[in-house]
Amino acid sequence: MPKPQREPRDEIRRSIRQRVERLDFGALAAELDLHGHARVPALLAPAECAEARALWCDPARFRKRVNLARHRFGDGGEYQYFARPLPPLVEALRGELYPPLARVANAWSERLGDPRRFPGTLAGLARLCREHGQREPTPLLLDYEAGGYNCLHQDLYGPVYFPLQVAIGLTRPGADYEGGAFLLVESRPRQQSRGDAIVLGPGDAVIFPTRERPVRGARGFHRAQLRHGVARVERGHRMTLGIIFHDAKS
Domains in the chain, CATH or no CATH each: 8-249 (2.60.120.620)
pTM tops 0.75, yes or no: yes
Distance, C-alpha 94 to centroid of its chain: 9
Q: Tell me, what amino acid is at 129? A: C
* pLDDT score at 32: 97
CA 124, CA 143: separation in Å to the nearest integer?
A: 31
Burial 176-196 (b: 16+ CB within 10 A, else e): bbebbbbbbbbeeeeeeeeeb
Nearest to 126 by CA among 155, 91, 88: 91
CA angle 24, 26, 31 (to 5 degrees): 95
Residue 217 φ/ψ, nearest 5 degrees = -125, -170
Helix residue ranges per DSSP H, the chain: 8-22, 25-35, 46-54, 88-111, 122-131
Q: Are 214 and 222 in contact (CB under 8 A)?
A: yes
* pLDDT score at 5: 45
CA angle 40, 44, 26 (to 5 degrees): 30
Q: How far is CA 238 from CA 53, 178, 232, in A?
A: 10, 9, 10
Nearest to 208 by CA among 79, 35, 92, 26: 35
| 221: β partners | 216
Please name the residues in contact with 214: beta carbons below 8 A apart, sequence gap of 6 or more: 108, 111, 112, 221, 222, 223, 224
* pLDDT score at 1: 46
CA 202, CA 220: separation in Å to the nearest integer?
A: 38
* pLDDT tens-digit profile, the chain (250 residues): 444 444 588 999 999 999 999 999 999 999 999 999 999 999 999 999 999 999 999 999 999 999 999 999 999 999 999 999 999 999 999 999 999 999 999 999 999 999 999 999 999 999 999 999 999 999 999 999 999 999 999 999 999 999 999 999 999 999 999 999 999 999 977 788 999 999 999 999 999 999 999 998 878 899 999 999 999 999 999 999 999 999 999 8
The DSSP symbol for 171 reads: S
